[in-house]
Structure 1
Amino acid sequence: MPPWRSKARTDSLTVPRAHIETLPDGTEVKLGVFLSNTKTRRAKLTVDKLAALAGLGLEWAAAEGAA
């Protein structure tokens, strides 16, 4: 699992929309915005992208991929 916002690190995959994650190289990622936008547009995601997100533990991606 990537270092950003892992369930093992935070005990949750709930990410506030305003959350910005800083990667080890110093790059800042607007993770909350990304996840919010991705969840809103999940019907347009490919099966591979949904599977990758489900593999990270995002239940909404697994449920959408099964539909």
Structure 2
Amino acid sequence: MAVAAGAAPKKKADAGKPSAFERGLAALAQYRERTESVTVPRSHIEEIPDSDGVVEVKLGVWISNTKSRRAKLTGEQLDQLAALGLDWR
């Protein structure tokens, strides 16, 4: 099957690399541990350790986007967010 002109081929997920959701959860957990709050300013960027060093997560934007797309989250993902203090059910 040929790829349409101008269309990028699909990328394989990197084995062992955390997903965007997992990075967001890690950033939120770290932020909560440090501040004892899950009220994050939209412009906040949280740096989390990664196998390649440090990754910057736009945490405020991630929370806003995740909340707006919460209908697409799995029950497990919603449980993980609720455990951190974001219960959007």
Instruction: Report the TM-score range of the alignment, normalised by the length of the smaller protein.
Output: 0.7 to 0.9
Which residue of structure 2 aligns with residue 19 of structure 1?
44
Please give the alpha-carbon distance, in whole angstroms, between the structure 1 residues aligned to 2:71 and 2:47: 28
Instruction: Select which of 45, 58, 62 maps to 2:73.
Output: 45
Question: 1:43 is matched by which residue type in structure 2?
Answer: A
Please give the alpha-carbon distance, in whole angstroms, between the structure 2 residues aligned to 1:28 and 1:21: 6
Instruction: Select which of 36, 40, 61 maps to 1:33.
Output: 61
Provide the aligned C-alpha RMSD in A. Answer: 1.9
More strand by share: 2
Which residue of structure 2 aligns with residue 56 of structure 1?
84
Q: CA deviation at 1:56?
A: 1.4
Asked which structure has the greater CA Rg, the reply is 2
Question: 1:17 is matched by which residue type in structure 2?
Answer: R
Please, which runs of 5 or more residues in structure 1 have no aligned partner? Answer: none
Which residue of structure 1 aligns with residue 34 of structure 2?
9
More helix by share: 1
Please, which runs of 5 or more residues in structure 2 have no aligned partner? Answer: 1-25
Identity %: 58
